[in-house]
């Protein structure tokens, strides 16, 4: 895509402009998120240079190994930052066996610096904010983004301002607060918080709201999950992927990453199916999918999966499009199933995911039971956050098997009662 840039020329790597996803109108690079012609969402336009597997593999052990495919400065890897990414891809044989599947991998993004995939999107937004001369990093968050923004701003020496719904889990709130920025809890839903941030971003034009006026840059960070999965599989795209949906951005960008790798010749052209996962208490995209609609009707969220509780998802229609185009399915699961999903992943693979991970595991299980996902096709499941931030979801279900006096016989009794082989 050829887009002319206006001066001053910014160093945002291969990014050359912004284009409207609705009408194709072009804008220069900047902190804009809505098309000046039709108010449609904007996307980064690129002119990619030569990218090879070797050039990527020679890069750092972080998302910056893909900087040639991101809107970030050439020297981004040497700047103070959290340098997220290159999280482990776990061959999940025991979970696969429990689910009756052949080949299953878990991409465990709880291993990022603030324990969710949001470090990826924030790292890219931060680099753009610095290049655009914005001195404050801000966001509207369902929880994970809050911690990621506050931590990245602290590390980079920027002012931060994070707005969250006031009913978030303690793990998310404390995590967002500890880095010392401005943390504002709002009486209202995420969608209320997001609306407020839209208003603020209109006025505070030297602030970078990562998921509002920096959204085109922020969203590109999610491509790195797709890039890593393909590289870690030996430069191959899996046949199926299961992705949790809140705004729907992550899902669309994993698909975009694989299309880019194919068109750049970094992986062989292949087909894959993208599956979307939501909690039934906030399932606007799943409902639209089931009804065969192209538009997503907003809902009022009520689920323990608070990180996915976006009732009016900005990228919902694009997520629907990616799932339908690839032949996937979007399904939703109850809160009880979410808890079962968290426990199943923990018990089979030793991975403690947050509620979003529980949603994704439970959705995979439901799709398999309904015969809507191929158990024999190679599948990747994304675990996007850490269970330590959503302890309440399972705290009522698990605990000590027994509480005893410091007594040998009582210990033996407890161990036998639990069925341990002694």
Ligand X SMILES: Cc1ncc(COP(=O)(O)O)c(C=O)c1O
Residue from 6, 9, 11, 37 in contact with Zn ion (CB under 5 A): 37
- Tell whether residue 284 is a contact of ligand X (CB under 6 A): no
184: part of which helix (H) or strand (E)?
strand 182-186
Dig out the tokens for 357 from the structure. Answer: 């991970």
Other residues' Cβ atoms within 10 Å of the Cβ of residue 103? 17
Dig out the tokens for 49 from the structure. Answer: 């240079």
- Tell whether residue 142 is a contact of ligand X (CB under 6 A): yes
| Residue number, 18 or 104, with CB nearest to Zn ion | 18
**Positions in 241-260 near Zn ion (CB under 5 A):** none
Residue from 45, 248, 328, 358 in contact with ligand X (CB under 6 A): 248
- Tell whether residue 151 is a contact of ligand X (CB under 6 A): no
CA atoms within 13 Å, Cβ hemisphere of 422: 11
- Tell whether residue 36 is a contact of Zn ion (CB under 5 A): no
User: Binds 178, which of Zn ion, ligand X, none (CB < 5 to 8 A, cut-off by type)?
Assistant: none
Contact segment (CB under 6 A) with ligand X among 58-66, 146-154, 240-248, 257-265 equals 240-248
- Tell whether residue 189 is a contact of ligand X (CB under 6 A): no
Residue from 3, 5, 14, 22 in contact with Zn ion (CB under 5 A): 22
What is the nearest approach in angstroms of Zn ion to the Cβ of residue 25? 4
- Tell whether residue 176 is a contact of ligand X (CB under 6 A): no
| Residue number, 130 or 222, with CB nearest to ligand X | 222
- Tell whether residue 119 is a contact of ligand X (CB under 6 A): no
Contact segment (CB under 5 A) with Zn ion among 23-31, 71-79, 263-271, 272-280 equals 23-31
What is the nearest approach in angstroms of Zn ion to the Cβ of residue 4? 17
| Residue number, 144 or 189, with CB nearest to ligand X | 144
| Residue number, 56 or 145, with CB nearest to ligand X | 145
Residue 369's contacts (CB-CB under 8 Å, 6 or more residues apart) are none
User: Binds 280, which of ligand X, Zn ion, none (CB < 5 to 8 A, cut-off by type)?
Assistant: none
DSSP string, 257-311: HHHHHHHTTSS-----EEEEEEETTB-HHHHHHHHT-SS-------SS-GGG--S
Residue 23's contacts (CB-CB under 8 Å, 6 or more residues apart) are 35, 37, 38, 40
- Tell whether residue 38 is a contact of Zn ion (CB under 5 A): yes
Question: DSSP assignment, residue 215?
Answer: H
Residue from 18, 35, 261, 351 in contact with Zn ion (CB under 5 A): 35
CA 237 to chain centre: 18
- Tell whether residue 368 is a contact of Zn ion (CB under 5 A): no
Question: DSSP assignment, residue 100?
Answer: T
245: left (phi over 0), alpha (psi -120 to 50) or beta: beta
Token pair 């009022």 is found at 300
| Residue number, 291 or 295, with CB nearest to Zn ion | 295
| Residue number, 315 or 378, with CB nearest to ligand X | 315
Q: How many residues does the chain have?
A: 422
Dig out the tokens for 90 from the structure. Answer: 């776990």
Give strand pairing partners of 138: 161, 209
- Tell whether residue 34 is a contact of Zn ion (CB under 5 A): no
Residue 269's contacts (CB-CB under 8 Å, 6 or more residues apart) are 262
- Tell whether residue 264 is a contact of Zn ion (CB under 5 A): no
Other residues' Cβ atoms within 10 Å of the Cβ of residue 1? 13
Residue from 384, 387, 390, 394 in contact with ligand X (CB under 6 A): 384
- Tell whether residue 301 is a contact of ligand X (CB under 6 A): no
Contact segment (CB under 6 A) with ligand X among 179-187, 194-202, 241-249, 344-352 equals 241-249
∠ at Cα 56 (221, 13), nearest 5°?
55
Residue from 42, 193, 245, 282 in contact with ligand X (CB under 6 A): 245
Q: Are residues 15 and 2 in contact, defined by beta-carbon separation less than 8 angstroms?
A: no
Rounded Cα–Cα distance for residues 3 and 20 (Å): 12
- Tell whether residue 330 is a contact of ligand X (CB under 6 A): no
Rounded Cα–Cα distance for residues 147 and 127 (Å): 17
User: Binds 25, which of Zn ion, ligand X, none (CB < 5 to 8 A, cut-off by type)?
Assistant: Zn ion
Query: Where along the sequence are the contacts to Zn ion (CB under 5 A)?
Result: 20, 22-23, 25, 35, 37-38, 40
Query: Where along the sequence are the contacts to ligand X (CB under 6 A)?
Result: 116, 118, 142, 144-145, 244-250, 307-308, 354, 356, 384-385
């Amino acid at each position: 895509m050829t887009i002319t840039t206006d001066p001053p020329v910014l160093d945002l790597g291969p990014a050359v402009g912004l284009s409207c996803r609705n009408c194709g109108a072009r804008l220069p690079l900047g902190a804009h998120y809505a098309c000046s012609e039709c108010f449609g969402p904007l996307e980064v336009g690129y002119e990619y240079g030569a990218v090879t597997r070797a050039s990527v593999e020679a890069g750092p052990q972080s998302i910056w190994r893909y900087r040639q495919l991101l809107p970030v400065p050439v020297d981004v890897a040497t700047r103070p930052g959290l340098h997220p990414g290159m999280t482990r891809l776990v061959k999940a044989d025991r979970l696969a066996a429990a689910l009756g599947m052949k080949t299953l991998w878990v991409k465990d993004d709880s291993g990022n610096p603030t324990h969710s995939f949001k470090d990826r999107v924030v790292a890219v937004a931060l680099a753009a904010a610095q290049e655009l001369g914005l001195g404050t990093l801000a966001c509207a968050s369902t929880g994970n983004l809050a911690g990621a923004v506050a931590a990245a701003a602290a590390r980079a020496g920027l002012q931060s301002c994070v707005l969250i719904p006031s009913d978030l889990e303690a793990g998310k709130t404390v995590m967002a607060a500890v880095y010392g920025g401005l943390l504002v809890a709002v009486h209202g839903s995420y969608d209320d918080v997001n609306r407020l941030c839209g208003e603020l971003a209109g006025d505070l034009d030297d602030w970078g709201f990562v998921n509002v006026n920096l959204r085109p840059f922020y969203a590109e960070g999610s491509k790195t999950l797709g890039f890593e999965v393909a590289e870690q599989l030996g430069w191959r795209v899996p046949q199926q992927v299961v992705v949790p949906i809140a705004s729907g951005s992550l899902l669309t960008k994993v698909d975009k990453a694989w299309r880019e790798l194919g068109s750049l010749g970094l992986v062989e052209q292949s087909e894959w199916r993208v599956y979307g996962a939501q909690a039934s208490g906030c399932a606007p995209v799943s409902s639209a999918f089931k009804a065969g609609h192209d538009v997503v009707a907003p809902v009022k969220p009520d689920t323990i999966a608070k990180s996915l509780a976006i009732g009016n998802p900005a990228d919902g229609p694009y997520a629907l499009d990616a799932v339908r185009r690839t032949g996937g399915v979007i399904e939703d699961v109850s809160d009880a199933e979410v808890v079962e999903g968290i426990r199943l992943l923990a018990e089979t693979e030793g991975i403690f995911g947050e509620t979003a991970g529980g949603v994704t595991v439970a959705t995979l299980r439901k799709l398999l039971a309904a015969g809507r996902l191929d158990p024999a096709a190679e599948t990747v499941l994304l675990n996007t956050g850490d269970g330590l931030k959503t302890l309440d979801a399972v705290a009522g279900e698990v605990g000590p098997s027994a509480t005893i006096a410091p007594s040998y016989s009582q210990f033996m009794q407890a161990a036998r009662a639990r069925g341990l082989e002694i």
